[in-house]
Structure 1
Amino acid sequence: MDSERWSKLKEIFAQAEALEPGEREAFVNEAAEGDAELAAEVKSLLNSRDETANILEANAFDLSKGVFADQTPKAGRTFGSYRIVRELGSGGMGAVFLVERSDGEFKQTAALKLIRNTVADAETERRFRTEREILAGLHHPNIAQLYDGGVSENGEPFFVMEHIDGRPLNEYVRTANSPLNDRLDLFLKICSAVDYAHRNLTVHRDLKPGNILITPEGEPKLLDFGLAKLLDEQGGEKDQTATMFRAFTPAYASPEQILGKRVTIASDIYSLGVIFYELLTDSKPFVFDGMSLEEIVRTITGSDPVRPSSVGRKGSSSAALRPGIASDLDTIAMKCLEKEPERRYSTAAELAADIRRFLDGMPILARPSTFSYRTSKFVRRNWKSVAAGTLAAASLLVGLGVSIWQAEVARAERDRAEQRFQDVRKLSNSLLFEITPKIETLEGSTEAREILVKRALEYLDSLAAEAAGDSELQKELAAAYEKIGELQGHPSKPNLGDLAGALSSYEKANAIRLAQPETPENLRLLAENFRHLSDARYWQGDTLGTLGALERSRQIYEGLVNSQSGDVSLRLAYLRILTELSQYHQANNQYPEAIAFAEKAIAGTQELSADARETREVFFVTHADLGNSLSWNGEQERAEAMMSIAVGGMEKLLSEKPNDARTRHLMWRVYMLASGIFEDIVNERSLEFAEKARATAQKGVEIDPADIQFRHNLARTNYRVAVAAANLKQSREALDALKVAETQFLALIEREPRNRFYRTDLGRIYTRAGLARRLTNDLAGSNSDLIRSLDLWRQVAEADPGNKNARRDIALSHRYLAENLTKLGEKQQAREHYRLAVDILNGLKSENSLPEVDLKLITELESVMAKL
């Protein structure tokens, strides 16, 4: 078979494989264009594929079984930190395995998706890598989560993702005989996942029930982003191709997909509409059994489906859905299934909002196609007949006068509604942008800010419901939601500690900004929004999502700076992003990367005016970050020099504005980093800076006891004081400070249970308490504290597998337990804890995520373990 014929065979096979079994034969005969031999070869391959169908099809992994059975990795083989348990399914492209963590950090099963580099063509490998890259940036409870990825020692690309033990959506609802409201609740969660993907510039392109699994707990999980495309900022796909033979499932594909046109968010909305229709009726809008390719295209692009209320549910004697309200569901479904993309819901969030209105008994916003619209469609299809009847219609104009009076009444009502709307708009802007800036840096203003946030959110949500089509109002809404997010939980400003609320507000703003035209002004606002979104994600424990948002912000800012190099404020905003990227890599033990970003930021500030307070602030804070990273990287002398610049500079800034809450917070942070770099080196200086940090935080709490930021700062500072005291053998002082810190963190956790940083810091407190008790020879008490810390670290690591610091802390807890057990004569248990510590540290080393100062620790622990 020549290469051209082989290529055509593969192309037809790939498209036919995506069809329902009953639709394949007609499609193949049509696509083969009379070549009976080619058609027979494709059908033979399809029959072989069907004979080996397995669990992968149900889980939406597009693989076929058996081609590389002799090369299948065996149980026990490791990929990164994961060990194969058993195969879930395999095929010509690769395989999927059930795996478990092999490093002992915590128990976790997952699904490992592996591609064979021996058989993968460029397109297959591109899809695989695209799926991995897309999943890395998507972190949503209803999207299967990516845990890890890389290339095996044999050159096989792989990634590890959440293992979903569930059933496809349509099978689940039919088997459970789910009532309508339960189906709608499931669909709302699916819309949330799709909307999240869209807001992260990803269109799925193959939404269907088989790609949505329902867990035993009843939670939907969206899978299989292998066909997904990244979107440009205006919602269209990047590197798009226009071809009839695109990979999708025709029963769920939009008219534009079928025709090979531009794929956008609207294409996914159409697919959601098909899924919604199927949930309502247990049947699809169109059935293609026995249809040719031409007939399928003509049906999808030219025929309207039967309204859901006219379709009898399987197993139901009723020919309609719930009487009296089914028309709203009809309207929602038919709006999704409009032929023209612009007539569908503009976002999955809008679709979900209308379903919620239906569930709440409120009027929906969607409206059925108007008579004039249906007439215009009829005219386009039958223009000759319509032209002949136009004269006869002229007599109908006499009825026009009747409607004039009605139009005048409606206009007056609109005017009154518009005035109320503008009043609310003005009030919300006044609350956020006139009153709030006057009080946000005033100490003791937390309670007032809480009231402002509550009232402003009420106004904003009412405005958002009316904002469609008003671009200026949408800009105002985005800015207002960002201001709300800042007040709720911005980590470096006085805030209310509502981290979940902050994330929600920033995401609302992000959705609006992504839909705005791509002007320099809008791009700048979008870049800043991604910066805020990264903070909110970080404090919610979403490590990979944090990096994704920071990188998006950096990329946008770099493009703007390159085109507007004279804009000082723009360059300063870009430098802040570099500083935050440095801080991100610090937090993940990636110190060379942290140093590089900090040095780049400092170099950039030196090109700006040294008199501007904002420039000085970035300059000094970044020096502190650089000093911290240098210390961890083993460059202590240079670290101390950088920290000296940071401390002196920030103390001067605080003296200029002693009542500024933001400056006080930054001063506290610099003192904390300064204390850290002298730990175990000059412990007296470490304690000195820790005490300064505590005094700074205590001052903030005294002035404004309700400010969560300073309460958190104070709790962390008590921990830092305890560390420095313990290093000076002041065990009683250390234990006292730790007890105070524990009480403070438990109160914070009670208020904000989802805040992973509170648990992280509490874990550190128990670790230090264990070490302090060891100094008093209380080994039993020490072990108790260390086990509590280990449990907390495992909780953090399980919730956020990308958190490198949590894994390092797990290793250190194992080390300290091993040392205690050795003293107690429990050598076998000690050896096991040493082994776990070494395995985890080696895993971090292989990922280039182990600090330079820890590299020698592996050798030390291996040496101690060998002597036991």
Structure 2
Amino acid sequence: MTDIAVERDALRLFEQALEIPDHQRAGWIAEQCGADPALRARVETLLRAEASGSLRTGGAVDEIEEAPLPARIGAYRIIERIGRGGMGSVYRAERDQDDFRHKVAVKVIKPGLLSDRLVERFRAERQILAELSHPHIAQLFDGGETEDGSPYIVMEFLAGTTLRDWAIDQAPSRGERLAMFRQIASAVAFAHGHLIVHRDINPSNILVVDGRAKLIDFGIARPVELMRPDDGVMGARALVGEMAGVQDAPALQNLTLTPGYAAPERLTGADISTSVDIYSLGKLLAALFPDTGAGKGRGARGDEISAIIARASAEDPADRYPTADALIGDIDALLDGRPVSAMPQTKLYLVRRFVARNRLLVAASSTALALILVATGVTAWSWYRAEEAARQEARRFGELRSLAGFMIFDLEEQLARTVGNISARRALVERAQAYLLALAATENAAPDVKADAADGLIRLARVQGVPGSPNFGDNETARTNLLQAIRLLDDPAIGGGRQAAARAEALSSLAMILAHSDSDTAAAGERLQLALAGLADVPAGERGEAWFSAQRRTRHVELELALLAEDVEQLTRLADALDRDVTTRPVPATIKAADRMTAEFDHALADYYRGLVGYITDDLTGAVARENASVQRLQQLDRQLPNDPQLLFQLAWSAYTGHGAASSSPAMARDADNFLDIARSTIDRLVLLEPQDRSIRSFSANVRSAQAHALTDQGKFAEAIALQRTVIAQLETALGSDRKAPALNRLVIAHGMLAGFALRADDVKLACTHFANAQQLFEELVRRDKVLGFVEQRVRNVQANLELCRKGAPASALTPLVE
């Protein structure tokens, strides 16, 4: 048997042995261990350690010689040492500065133990406590380092007893024990809500002060994002060995856990999650209700408490309560006399619970009692059927809600990175939309359900047809979904922060449709201002992750509208603001790879827009440098996250803009070619991923036009003209029957470019044909009042060219529309 297997089996047998009477324990251990002397020796060692009180969290450090009592720590006068823990000593102290006094507890790492790992862990405890302000969690007041560099924290002084002593000394009733346990579980649920796992919940880490529970010792707690399978035997051995300054420290004795309360996965190397605390809570409830077999009494366990304990402390994490709140729900049900979910939901049990809650219905006389029992039975059965139907309906509703979220936010995103999935993605999106609309249409839908449905509709809209990122090209369906999301978000019960963030996401996406699909930049600006105003109204303290995500998206839209207006001052200001947003955005306790990639993408985007400023203002060297920086950042991200459509979209645009700037100067010809190669290869990848996106097909045509322009510079006029004809064919296909204004504007430029190539090839007839085509399309745009600014500037000489064409002028007399 391996060391890990021995440790795991030893811990399991040790926990079971604690329930065996002392006079029977030796024989029981011999029977369980059989012919495995190593296992038996390990179990006996653990039992001896438990009996002597030496088996504690980080027990190895107790062997370090105790340091002299310090006189002061920071602003606090040390009165006495009141405890020793796995990381150091705890002192009772008094603040005697700044005209006020109060007693506190000061926890300091023991001298001689200042390894980097231990200091890091201690500082982590300080940071964790700073984030956890809860009536049943020990409060942090202050922190710092002593003169010799030892970190310390200052906490509220808790003059209480441990939970175990409280249960023995006070002999609380069943209700009092359950109420105390609920306080503890609420503290754990609060910590989990802040993504903190305690990892060592046991009676010694809970103090009872004036009848209230206080959860202490977060010294080995970790944020959920930092959880990794490092709590196994070998990992613990290495950590404790480093802390204690010894080699090959005994593994289980020095684990950062308390045997009897630690979940089995702590020894198996499995991933650690909030489920380990659920297990410990189950064991804690068992300690509050020892299984004495007495049946009834002040601390009797009973079937329901036994069922709650069994579910919470199940060996398989999947069989436990999913959250601490779910466990609290069963405790509340027990206190209220309602059915407990951990119990088998038999008809008899449900009727018993109903009768127990309605005792006043029972009459004193036997005749009345019989009648009431019959009525109660009928009522209870009807109630059971109604309750069961409601549970089934709630379960189906929850499954539908979860499925829609998975389809939109997880599965679709994964499929988007794989070539050839377009049909599957479209079917997936359509089905998800049906689910979301069903959720939103539910009678009396809860505010959080409406908000979830709105979030999903906004995400669907981006997939379907919001310009600025790859999509299916269905602008109208996207618009409909965004308007539906905004209507759902009109419910004031959703809450300020979440409501403002979601509305901003919807309004900024709608602004992109108005600007690019409708060429209505005025209406787009109005929607954007509404989004910005809503975000600004949210108090700073309520600005969570969703708020900052919405701020980021509105910033992107601000930049895009400034670009359409060719407002270089606004573009520069907003690009600088985007960089500042990245650096001032709150840093999560654990920075995920996705957070770093988002930040790097925004830096690349800021460089892209600065490059455009250089291009517009003829600072070509600066434009090329900025676009090169953007391309390099995005290529690095592409290596980390291949085939991400949004990333490829921006990479192609940065390279395309860099090519435009570099091709304007012969000195940067090599840069121009390099940019063009990157843009062409990237857009080809993107077309394979998003073949139905009109904007991407149009963009692909623009890149091909740039390639054709490069061919004319090389004197390859026939090849350039042939390639530009395919570009026009692409754009006409993308134009479709609805003849969207942005596509018409691009087609005007494409015809103008082909006319210019023809002039360089001295083909006047071909040039005049495409000048006429450009003019015809331009006049259609004028009638619809949909001419984009850059198009209007480039067709000013088309009338003069057409007049020269009618006069039979040579190619040298005509002026190209697009240089």
**Which protein is bigger by CA-based radius of gyration?**
2
TM (normalized to structure 1)? 0.42
- Structure ranking higher on relative contact order (CA contacts 8 Å, 6+ apart): 1
Question: TM-score, normalised to structure 2's length?
Answer: 0.44
